[in-house]
Amino acid sequence: MIVKVGTKDLDTSNKFLRSLWADLRKSFGKCAWQYTPYKVGKENKVVFGFMDINVPPFSIEVSINYEMKGQIKTISFNIDKKTTANYDKIKKKIEDSVNRAKVSMLKPRIYHFKTNVKSFYLLSRYEGASFSIVPCKPFKNGVSEIVLSVYGYDDPDAQSQFLRRLDNFIDIISIETNCPFWSVKSQESKYDKKDTEIQYMENETWIDGYPVQAGFLLIRQKTIETLDKVSFIDKDKQLGCFIRAGYLFHTARKIEAQVNDLLIIDDPKRLSEDTWEYPVRERDDLLSIAATMGKSQNELATVLYISALEVASLVIATEQKNCTKCGQPIYAISKRVRDFVGIYGSEYLPRIINDYYQKRSKIVHIGNIVSDVGYMGISMPQLDPNDDSGCKRVNSVSVSNLREYTGYCIRKAIASQ
């Protein structure tokens, strides 16, 4: 069976689909999936997979047809009339769901979700049109409560939207503060509004360390508007670039934290004249994963920070040129990144970032290792012809500096929009 839909853009199409799945869940009591999507380009067709709505034989192939990508001209439900009991009734019920979804997609409900995150410092108190941030007691725990409002068509749909938006939300805050954040269990004790006035980061040029005042992480006033928009990436291509860059930045920041934050290096213990015991390195509980995840954190963080700059630099991308001889696109990503950091950083930063870019390439293409895992707090100078300095270094890439340059440039770019 084929039902006409007629959506004209990607955002409307996805709202229709979310509304439809919610209506089917309500009408049939279930809408589960064997989600195996693929596209048939010649037929302008996208197949989602097989849907189970409690109708024997419990697997209905669902697909859409489009005239232009992102649109939905019609939606098809491949129901076998011979093997489906009450076929006409089921067909009518599905058609009704499609028609209701075309109306209800314009009338989502507002849902409110709260969660707690932890970092090195408390977030200060903030309020936007669709969120609030409240620091939790005790002060030393660094836990803050975040409440987000999202639009949804039923409980499962709203929950999915919340999880997606929460990641986007925290990734932007990570760029704003240079901090990693982890989800933690909720805490009932929160600071009263009278105890925590709303304060904004007024220094737009900070780059080192963290934007901390009186023990609280501060963000810029303009960031409130950005955080309110993070669920609308389909409508704002530039904001979408920053959200994707934020995902890479925050992932890099968490990986970097496994090496460079809250790490205690204990002295080895002598057991006999020539036997030593290597002590376990003590960490904050949220950093303990590094003990089992390998030793390539600096390399991974370097790759991700440079990738975050590549994505953010798309906001200054111009029309792509093709080679006059072969007709293939000419990719000048490294130049675009240099231009980006030149615009939002300083005249000296393109040369610095280019050096990081070259080291990133060596990590990816020849497996170059940028950190010396044998460092125990005592420097032991040695030669290394592959390093620019000619010497073996504990870290040939200053990951913390790269993080600060990256965060600074993206913050400036966001502020300029």
Alpha-carbon distance 329 to 184, whole Å?
46
Structure tokens at 227: 């955080």
**What does the domain layout of the chain look like in residue ranges?**
2-104, 109-231, 238-416
pLDDT at 377: 63
Residue range 310-319, pLDDT digits in tens: 999 999 887 6
Angle, alpha carbons 106-108-77 (nearest 5°): 70
For residues 320 and 332, the answer to whether their CB atoms sit within 8 Å is no
Exposure of 102 in the CB half-sphere (CA atoms within 13 A): 15
What residues form DSSP beta bridges with 395? Answer: 371
- Bridge partners of 52, per DSSP, are 32
Residues 6+ apart with CB under 8 A from 128: 224, 225, 227, 228
Predicted local distance difference test score (pLDDT) of residue 263: 46
Half-sphere exposure of 138 (CA within 13 A, CB side): 2
| 138 upstream amide cis, omega within 30 of 0 | yes
Query: Are the CB atoms for 404 and 226 separated by under 8 Å?
Result: no
Q: Which two tokens stand for residue 361?
A: 């390439």
Residues of the chain with pLDDT under 70: 139-140, 187-196, 231-235, 260-268, 275-295, 319-320, 322-331, 370-377, 394-396
Q: CA-to-CA distance for 150 and 185, rounded, in angstroms?
A: 21
User: If we measure between CA atoms, which residue out of 169, 178, 189 comes closest to residue 119?
Assistant: 178
Q: Classify the phi-psi angles of 6: left when phi > 0, otherwise alpha if psi is within -120 to 50, otherwise beta.
A: left
CATH 3.20.20 fits 2-104, yes or no: no
Dihedral, CA of residue 402, residue 403, residue 405 and residue 406, to nearest 10: 110
What string of H, E and C letters represents the secondary structure of the chain? CEEEEEECCHHHHHHHHHHHHHHHHHHHCCCEEEEEEEEEHHHCEEEEEEEECCCCCCCEEEEEECCCCCCEEEEEEECCCCCCCCHHHHHHHHHHHHHHHHHHCCCCEEEEEEEEEECCCEECCEECCCEEEEEECCHHHCEEEEEEEEEECCHHHHHHHHHHHHHHHHHHHHHHHCCCCEEECCCCCECCHHHCCCCECCCCCCCCCCCEECCEECECHHHHHHHHHCCCCCCCHHHHHHHHHHHHHHHHHHHHHHHHCCEECCCCEEEECCEEECCCCEECHHHHHHHCCCCCHHHHHHHHHHHHHHHHHHHHCCCCCECCCCCCECCCHHHHHHHHHHHHCCCCHHHHHHHHHHHHHHHHHHCCCCECCCCCCCCCCCECCCCCCCECCCECCCHHHHHHHHHHHHHHHHHHC
pTM for the structure as a whole: 0.84
Residue type for position 314: L
pLDDT at 92: 94
pLDDT at 243: 93
pLDDT for 389 equals 75
